Amino acid sequence: MSLLSTHGLTAFYGDAQALFGIDFELGAGELVAIIGANGAGKSTFMKSVTGLVRAAREQVRFDGQPIGGLPPGEIVKRGIALVPEGRRLFPSLSVEENLLMGGFAGRPGPWNLQRLFKLFPILEQKRALPGTSLSGGQQQMVAIGRALMSNPTLLLCDELSLGLAPIVIKEIYDAMPAICAEGMTVVIVEQDVSTAMRVAQRIYCFQEGRVSLQGASDQLTRDEISAAYFGV
């Protein structure tokens, strides 16, 4: 049984339709990447799954239960956490307070402050500083840590590499095996195709709100991905 599935998922911003019937399947323990150009609907998909954009009840199922249309607070309590695009740390909270906010849902599990400081040691040194005073890469670590603090079953990461230097991106993705080692299922949204191909087991490519390609990352060719990514 899949951990997360969407069937004919549609999403709207006012009158504008952003998703046109997305079918998506994710098994427990998988690491899947969603790629696509700007405006392809990747972030809207993440928002629909986490309740930030409204979805019909049966269009999103998690752990066998329909979760479409539930409020974000209820969805995080069921075990889905989002690392949002642009990190969106709370500016008035310190690094430690930002991390503690992630634990607000009160789900039991292996992730706590000590564990996170082991994964990202730099955060322990900077725990008392305002979260937004850190470098982009360190802020991304806080955003990931904040999501992990809710001890999710499914971690959704939206544009982890956005605006970061290649060396920082590598450092962040190097932490993924330690995260996945806990049996966590991960979905990453990534514009950098080579990074996505390197870290993910399966790839979904979105184009204009539809799935244009899917398959195992080691079986897809560059030409197939180019055609699905750009539509040419």
Partner 1 sequence: MFETALQVLLQGLLLGGLYCLFALGQSLMFGVMRLTNTAQGDFIVLGAFAAIAGLSALGALGLPDALLPWLAGLLLLPLAFGFGYALQRWVLNGTLGKDPLPSLVVTFGLAIVIQNLLLELFSADPRSIETAGLNTRSLALPSGFAVGVLPLLILGLAVAATAALQWLFNRTQLGRAFRAVSDDKEIAELMGLNSNRVYALATAIAFVLIALAGVLQGMRTTVSPSDGPLLLLFAFEAVIIGGMGSFWGTLLGAMLLGVTQQIGFRIDPGWGIWVGHIVFLLVLVLRPQGLFPKTRG
- Contacts to partner 1 by CB under 8 A: 50, 52, 71-73, 76-77, 81-82, 84, 88, 90-93, 97, 100-102, 104-106, 146, 150
In this complex, which beta carbon is closest to partner 1, that of residue 49 or of residue 228? 49
CB of 203 to partner 1, least distance (A): 26
Contact criterion met (CB below 8 Å) for 183 and 27: no
Q: In the complex, what is the shortest distance from the CB of residue 197 to partner 1, in angstroms, rounded to a whole number?
A: 28
Q: Please give the Cα distance from 148 to 86 (Å, whole number).
A: 17
- For residue 145, the minimal CB distance to partner 1 (Å) is 12
How big is the chain, counted in residues?
232
Closest CB to partner 1 among 53 and 179? 53
Residue type, 197: M
Q: In angstroms, rounded to a whole number, what is the distance separating the alpha carbons of residues 170 and 147? A: 19
What's the Rg (C-alpha) of the chain?
Answer: 17
Task: Name the residue nearer to partner 1 (CB basis): 81 or 220.
Answer: 81
Judged by beta carbon, residue 55 or residue 211, the one nearer partner 1 is 55
The CB-of-28 to partner 1 minimum distance in angstroms stands at 22
CA dist., res. 51 & res. 72, Å (int): 5
d(CA 186, CA 79): 12
